[in-house]
Amino acid sequence: MRQLQIQWNGVPAGTLTEKVPGKGYRFDYAPSYLSGTRPQISVTLPKSDRPYESDSLFPFFANMLPEGALRRVVCRQHHVDENDFFGILCAMSEADSIGAVNVKEVKNAEE
């Protein structure tokens, strides 16, 4: 199971989990983020103490992925399949993304 910490301007906002490789995703807001005044990370993911679940990667996170030639470069450099969207997000977790939301890979996520 792979996990990413989702951050809003450097503040942990929640956790994105790939439950089944290539299928089965869950997003949970962090309790500390829910209790604060920061905004929801996306219109499609309003603040909630209930987890969001989907068979495919949530569109908000899929839209953070590079496209075209840049995706091919990232995949080649990090040895990630171009269709492994979660893997691409993990590969890009060390880089800052454009906007307030960043992802950081959770090392040693529970199996």
CA pair distance 45, 40, nearest whole angstrom:
7
CB burial of residue 17 (10 Å; 0-12, 13-18, 19+): buried
Q: What is the pLDDT along the chain (111 residues), one digit of tens a residue?
A: 899 999 999 999 999 999 987 789 999 999 999 998 999 999 999 999 999 999 999 999 999 998 999 999 999 999 999 999 999 999 988 776 778 899 998 987 665
Nearest to 45, CA basis, from 32, 29, 33, 66: 29
- pTM of the complete model beyond 0.75: yes
Q: Kindly state the tokens that stand for 107.
A: 């090392």
